[in-house]
Amino acid sequence: MYLGKKVRLRALEMSDLDAIMAHWNTYETRRYLYSAMPHSREHEREWLERAAKQTPWEDGSLTLAIEDRDTQEFLGTVGLARISPENMHAEFGIAIHNPAQQGKGYGTDATEIILWIGFHELGLNSIHLYTMESNVRAQRAYEKAGFKRVGKIRQYMYSGGEYEDAFVMDILKSEFMERWPPGKMIAN
């Protein structure tokens, strides 16, 4: 388990299913994700079964639960996907499910920790992400964690009846190491 200033990242468990279903189908949150379509409990149960067993090098994915460090409340998930052993890169993704818990610093903290895991534990060289142009809160959180905006993909997402451009953001291992060299942990 990895400790940040506000959150703890830990393995997903099947017992997280109720907490996932509590807020996962909230349009306010889902509209910024790859698809805003609602997910049934059965769909999520199957996803959770797969995600809880993933290993980074065999499955190319690592998804962890985000919980409040003090209360242990389940807040959402954060992860790395498309982990490439050939190129040592991965794609970042995150969701704080309950809109009432967004904007409190949890996302920035969880982002820094998964970057720490990606660079220090997995030894990756770069981590990138795609985010909708209108998702200003996400971009701010990612910039605080060290991501830089490096490009734009036109009309990448279809949401709310229109196409929207997506920003590409990334961070290199060398940049992350300036802030978080080996031995320096995020939680004090």
Q: What is the DSSP letter of 1?
A: -
Select from 138, 34, 36, 121 the least CA-distant residue to 83: 121
CB 150 within 8 A of CB 168: yes
Comparing every residue's Cβ against ligand COA, the nearest one is 107
Contact with ligand COA (CB under 6 A): which of 5, 10, 45, 137? 137
Among positions 26-65, residues that touch ligand COA (CB under 6 A) are: 29, 32-33
CB 67 within 8 A of CB 10: yes
CB of 109 to ligand COA, least distance (A): 7
Q: Taking CB under 6 A as the rule, does residue 140 contact ligand COA? A: yes
Q: Taking CB under 6 A as the rule, does residue 106 contact ligand COA? A: yes
Mapped onto helix, strand or coil, the DSSP state of residue 31 is coil
CB of 52 to ligand COA, least distance (A): 20
CB of 103 to ligand COA, least distance (A): 4
Among positions 63-102, residues that touch ligand COA (CB under 6 A) are: 94-96, 102
Q: Which is nearer to ligand COA, 68 or 175 (CB)?
A: 68
Q: Determine the Cα–Cα distance for residues 126 and 106; give it in Å rounded to an integer.
A: 23
CA distances from 6 to 74, 98, 110, 113, 118 (A): 12, 16, 8, 11, 19
Interface ranges with ligand COA (CB under 6 A)? 29, 32-33, 94-96, 102-108, 131, 135-138, 140-141
